[in-house]
Chains A and B, each alone.
Chain A
Amino acid sequence: GAVVSQHPSRVICKSGTSVKIECRSLDFQATTMFWYRQFPKQSLMLMATSNEGSKATYEQGVEKDKFLINHASLTLSTLTVTSAHPEDSSFYICSADGTGVTYNEQFFGPGTRLTVL
Chain B
Amino acid sequence: AQSVTQPDIHITVSEGASLELRCNYSYGATPYLFWYVQSPGQGLQLLLKYFSGDTLVQGIKGFEAEFKRSQSSFNLRKPSVHWSDAAEYFCAVQPGGYQKVTFGTGTKLQVIP
Contacts and interface: CB of A to CB of B under 8 A. Distances in A.
Size category of the binding interface on chain A: 20 to 34
Interface in B29-43: 32, 36, 41-43
Interface string B24-66: 0000000010001000011111100101000000000000000
Interface string A75-117: 0000000000000000101010101000111101111010000
A54 interface: no
Contact of A42 (B36, B96, B102, B105): B105
Contacts of A6: 43
Nearest to B4: A43
A67 interface: no
Contacts of B51: 103-104
Contacts of A113: 41
Given A34-B101, A110-B42, A104 B32 contact: yes
B100 A93 contact: no
Contact of A110 (B43, B101, B105): B43
Interface residues of B, number: 22
Contact of A99 (B44, B45, B97, B101): B97
Given A43-B106, A104-B32, A93 B43 contact: yes
Interface of A: 6, 32, 34, 42-46, 49, 59, 91, 93, 95, 97, 99, 103-106, 108-111, 113
A43 B100 contact: no
The majority secondary structure among interface residues of chain B is loop
Interface in B90-106: 90, 94, 96-98, 100-106
Closest 3 CB pairs of A and B: A110-B43, A108-B44, A104-B97
Contact of A111 (B42, B101, B104): B42
Given A104-B32, A105-B49, A46 B43 contact: no
Contact of B98 (A43, A44, A99, A111): A99
A108 B106 contact: no
A91 B38 CA distance: 13
Given A43-B90, A43-B106, A44-B90, A106 B101 contact: yes
